Copies of this chain bind each other. A is one copy, B any other.
Amino acid sequence: MKQRIAIDMDEVIADTLAKFVHLYQKDHGLTLTPELLHGKELRDALPPELIDSVRKYINQKGFFRDLEVMPGSQQVVEQLAQKYDVFVVSAAMEFPNSLEDKLHWLGEHFPFIPWTNIIFCGYKIINTDIIIDDRTKNFKGFAGRTLLYSSPHNLLLTEFERVNTWDEVASLLL
């Protein structure tokens, strides 16, 4: 039997942060530089009067539909899907308006992932051998190998095996 990999969406195969950076520039003239975001959650890099806007943006229909694909992810995930049982696992349930957008986005950019292997959830109580995720809370109680996909918010964490790019994932797993 093939080993199973769970792959997160936001900040792992979908560039959610880039969309926020674009929106804050466009709507508020705010430039979110890598320096401002380093080691911080997005809300903690915003001026107080804009913190509520994060949730407003994220709850809008369409927010997740036109995200850029993370560089290299399509090619590497397609190769991984030859060798492993690849599941895309997103904690999408917090944002009901994201469900259809995320599913259509996957259909467009990762058409080789069948519906059987897509999981939208809250807690990731999944039974896989490997998980690739930018949120260490999703590693809690997970018995397999954890790969922390680098994102500005997690750059200060040191106690996890880390991957910075999809090329690095390929080197480790292919």
Interface residues on A, range: 20 to 34
- A interface vs B, CB < 8 Å? 4, 87, 93-94, 96, 99-100, 103-104, 114-123, 125-128
| Minimum C-beta distance from A133 to chain B (A) | 15
Asked if A116 contacts B126 (CB within 8 A), the reply is no
Of B119, B121, B125, which is within 8 A of A4 by CB?
A: B125
A116-B122, A119-B121 known; A96 vs B87 contact (CB < 8 Å): no
Q: How far is the CA of A36 from the CA of B114 in the complex (A)?
A: 33
Asked if B103 contacts A93 (CB within 8 A), the reply is yes
A96-B100, A96-B103, A100-B99 known; A121 vs B122 contact (CB < 8 Å): no
Q: How far is the CA of A123 from the CA of B1 in the complex (A)?
A: 15
